[in-house]
Amino acid sequence: MTGTRQIDGVTDAAAARAAAARLAARHGVPALERARLTATLGARLRQCLAEGGTWRLTLGVRGADSGGGALHAVLEPSPDASSAGEGTRWETTVPLPAADRPGSTGDSDSDMVPGDDPAALSQALMSADADTALVLDRLAEQEALVAFHRDELHQTNQGVLALHAELDAAGRAQREAFAAERRARNEAENARRRLTFLADASAVLNTSLNHGEIVRRLPELLVPRYAAEVGIWLFDEEDDPHHSMTRPAATVRAARTGRPQYAADHPGGLRGVDDLPPSVLHPDRPLLCVPLLTHRAPLGVLTLSPPGERWDPDDAVMLIELTRRAGIAIDNARRFEHNRDIAETLQRALLTELPTTPGLSLAARYLPATHGMNIGGDWYDAFHRQDGSLITVIGDVTGHGLHAAVMMSQLRTALRAYAVDDGSPGRLLTRLHKFLHRLQPNLYATAVIARFHPDESTLTWAAAGHPPPVLRLPDGRVRTLDAKPGAMLGIPLEQEIADHTEQVAPGSTLTLYTDGLVERRAEGIDPGIERLSAALGSFGPAELDTDLEGAADRILKPLLSDSERDDDVCLLLCHLQG
């Protein structure tokens, strides 16, 4: 169904526009689409009127019978008019709803509003206004909806911004927490490193009992990790020509005040350290001068220059503590060396020459311990009495050091004094026991005394808590004289130490020794006595007669294969000539 209309003027254009709106309404085109159709058609009609000429509008519905279809409009110059415009043909199609209202099957000219009917035009105008009002209502609804969504979007944006702000704040807090954790971990690691270094360095310094070794090792420990250069000034070495007499002012001030000094062109900010101007001798580098303090008096000053521009304050604290420990280690080493010198002097004074006896050879060895004080209470002695007999003794005072050496000297002197009264070995040990218990109640000793008489073929001996003597017979057999000994000398016990007698023939050798020769921590004393017996039995009949000194060395060699000894070693060989 189609219809056409000639358009020569405004009235025809209005009627054509109204006809298009009416046809669209008739076929159920929504108001919004009708308004869009009439507005577009009106604009094209105004353009055609402006161009002039006669135009033809063709309106029709295609496919309406099938339940769908479209409204088709064509505006073009009329071919019948002699003065047709030369405008461009315009065409549009508006889809119809699927549920279209039933339309007429005849000609659609009834939809064409007559151009000379004012009532029809007015009605068409009113219908167009109604469509326009509906469009405006729809537009208002859309504007309200847009405003609502705009507000909603604004609120959402505000929430997103707030969330971003919170996330940013949380991120900053997390980064700060990570940075704080990293700093804490680094500080803990640095503290652990300093404590480990301080412990290791202290162990190295305290291991040595030689103050020169400590002074040599101290710079090796500090350079280059904690110091570029290290200078050590010991007050008692001022007269040494190998040491410089020119000292920085900070070093002298540290020596006078006993306080650490920091000399640089900038404040050090170190705890417990006084700041001074830079040193004239070393103006280009800072100096940290720390006194070597002890319990009695300062020993000297340690002068350090930093490995970089300056020290970390915690490193400086660690260096001051290490210097304090170094001062104590040097002081302890010096006191040890002093006591050792005194003890060695006393020890050498007490180890007198062995007497010469016809028919009897003597050989003795004394080896101090390689660990610790090196001076102990081991001792031996041999001397003649008025009756012509020879007293040989070997003993061991508990402990090491000067005190043990002094007590050993007192026992040796007391024994010689008691031997004047011609007492037997057992009686002499009994008197020494009482003497030691009264003189030093908390000090103990062990000893073996053997007496040889040139007119007798017997050996009289007695022991007090000491390893048993070992007797080598002329035929090479070796016996351990393990008769019941007395208890240790000095213990809080009343005792009478008994004498023991052995028949000895020419060629026999009596061996007296201390426990340092035969005792080992891992195996005890018995295996050591067995090794000593085997060494004595290995000599030929004439070897002990001709070279007893060499025999003493040969006995010591297999028994002291270890170079490190924790105890003194004392050996006394008494050989009857064959």
pLDDT tens digits, 250-291:
999 999 999 999 999 888 888 889 999 988 888 888 999 999
Q: Residue 497 pLDDT > 90, yes or no?
A: yes
Q: Residue 578 pLDDT > 80, yes or no?
A: no
Same domain, 451 and 409: yes
Q: Encoding tokens for residue 166?
A: 């919170």
Can you tell me the distance from the alpha carbon of 468 to that of 530, in angstroms, rounded to the nearest whole number?
Answer: 12
Q: Encoding tokens for residue 171?
A: 């991120």
Q: Residue 230 pLDDT > 80, yes or no?
A: yes
* Greatest Cα pair distance in the chain: 184
Same domain, 312 and 357: no
Q: Is the residue at 469 inside a domain?
A: yes
Q: Residue 409 pLDDT > 90, yes or no?
A: no
User: Bridge-partner residues for 378, per DSSP?
Assistant: 396
Q: Encoding tokens for residue 186?
A: 């680094």
Rounded to the nearest integer, the mean pLDDT of the chain is 85
Return the closest-CA partner of residue 37 out of 24, 28, 48.
24
Can you tell me the distance from the alpha carbon of 82 to that of 73, in angstroms, rounded to the nearest whole number?
Answer: 23
Q: Is the residue at 172 inside a domain?
A: no
* SS3 annotation, 395-428: EEEEEECHHHHHHHHHHHHHHHHHHCCCCCHHHH
pLDDT tens digits, 118-173:
776 676 667 777 777 887 888 888 889 999 999 999 999 999 999 999 999 999 99
Residues contacting residue 195 through CB under 8 Å, at least 6 positions apart: none
Same domain, 323 and 366: no
Average pLDDT score over residue span 183-192: 90
| CB of 249 closer than 8 Å to CB of 295 | no
Query: Which DSSP state fits 115?
Result: T
Same domain, 212 and 335: yes
Same domain, 279 and 304: yes
- End-to-end Cα distance, the chain: 164
Q: Encoding tokens for residue 404?
A: 């043990």
Higher-pLDDT residue of 401 and 373 is: 401
Integer angstrom CA distances of residue 542 from 457, 509, 545: 20, 12, 5
Q: Where does a domain end: 95, 117, 143?
A: 143
Which domain, by its residues, includes 228?
208-344
* SS3 annotation, 472-509: ECCCCCEEECCCCCECCECCCCCCCCCCEEEECCCCCE
Domain count, the chain: 3
Same domain, 399 and 503: yes
Q: Which helix (H) or strand (E) holds 114?
A: none
pLDDT tens digits, 50-104:
888 889 989 988 876 665 688 899 999 987 655 444 568 899 998 888 754 444 4
Q: Is the residue at 522 inside a domain?
A: yes
pLDDT tens digits, 316-327:
899 999 999 999
Q: What are phi and psi of 494, to 5 degrees?
A: -80, 125
Q: Residue 393 pLDDT > 90, yes or no?
A: yes
The CATH number that applies at residue 510 is 3.60.40.10
Average pLDDT score over residue span 115-120: 65
Q: Encoding tokens for residue 414?
A: 């007391």
> Global pTM?
0.53
Q: Is 486 exposed, middle or buried (0-12, 13-18, 19+ CB in 10 A)?
A: buried
Q: With bands split at pLDDT 50, 70 and 90, how would you rate the model's confidence at 109?
A: very low
Looking from the CA of 309 toward its CB, the CA atoms found within 13 Å total 3
Q: Is the residue at 151 inside a domain?
A: no
Percentage, residues of the chain above pLDDT 70 = 88
Same domain, 339 and 387: no
